[in-house]
């Protein structure tokens, strides 16, 4: 009798389910250092590839400034180049954003060396992929090294035009906030309440010594 190997789709789905369980506090899946590192880098590579692939299509198939309706009134492909941050802020200091992204990537890589929890691995891996996607644009796109313009093309009403890397960064940062809110550490342990904190219903009455449980 032979075991049927899991497909890639089922493995990814299982990882997502496990991460969801960790985020809701039901279970924590602990990975080895090697497994966590490989999973994070694979996820980062997938995000990076999707981001750069979609940008390649925009650059080669659309004219700069061209707008294509996807869902009327809700979603458009709008080919622009952004030298600044969100909402085109800081357009004259592109190199600053390049340095910030290099520093951010270094911090994420440092945190990944300490990460063992599956949910943190997925969050940081996706975040690294998003950062590298936009960093690639800054380094290698026109007008020059370190000051390249980011390719943005996803347009929705009353919001900045963005790309896949931006989406990955925002989703993963929201996930990271949730993990911190749940008190889950990088290594899979949970933040414990301070030992010296006494619940209100166990606090001694005024004038009674602490720990006195005598009754009349």
Separation of alpha carbons 179 and 22, rounded Å:
8
Taking 50 as the pLDDT cut, the residues of the chain under it are 1-9, 12-13, 193-203, 211, 213-216
- What's the pLDDT score for residue 88? 59
Is 152 catalytic? The answer is yes
List 17, 51, 72, 152, catalytic entry: 152
Non-local (6+) Cβ contacts of 62 within 8 A are: 68, 77, 79, 153
Catalytic residue among 51, 72, 137, 166: 166
What pTM was computed for the model?
A: 0.76
51 in catalytic set: no
Give the start-to-end residue ranges of the domains of the chain: 40-186
pLDDT single digits (tens) 51-109:
999 999 999 999 999 999 999 999 999 999 998 766 556 666 778 889 999 999 999 99
Cβ atoms of 119 and 23 within 8 Å: the answer is yes
pLDDT recorded at residue 106: 98
């Amino acid at each position: 009798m032979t075991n049927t190997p899991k497909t890639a789709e089922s493995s990814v789905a299982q990882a997502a389910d496990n991460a969801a369980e960790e985020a809701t506090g039901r279970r924590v899946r602990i990975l080895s250092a090697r497994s966590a590192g490989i999973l994070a880098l694979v996820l980062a590579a997938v995000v990076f590839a999707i981001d750069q692939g979609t940008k390649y299509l925009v650059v080669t198939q659309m004219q700069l400034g061209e707008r294509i309706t996807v869902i009327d009134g809700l979603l458009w492909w709008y080919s622009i180049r952004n030298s600044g941050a969100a909402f085109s802020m800081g357009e004259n200091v592109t190199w600053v954003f390049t340095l910030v992204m290099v520093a951010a990537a270094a911090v994420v890589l440092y945190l990944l060396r300490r990460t063992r929890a599956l949910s943190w691995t997925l969050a940081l891996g996706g975040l690294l992929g998003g950062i590298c996607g936009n960093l690639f644009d800054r380094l290698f796109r026109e007008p020059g090294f370190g000051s390249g313009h980011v390719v943005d093309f996803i347009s929705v009403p009353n919001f900045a035009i963005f790309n896949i890397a931006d989406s990955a960064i925002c989703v993963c940062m929201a996930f990271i906030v949730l993990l911190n809110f749940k008190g889950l550490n990088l290594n899979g342990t949970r933040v414990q309440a301070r030992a010296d904190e006494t619940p209100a219903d166990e606090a001694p009455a005024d004038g009674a010594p602490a720990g006195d449980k005598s009754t009349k």
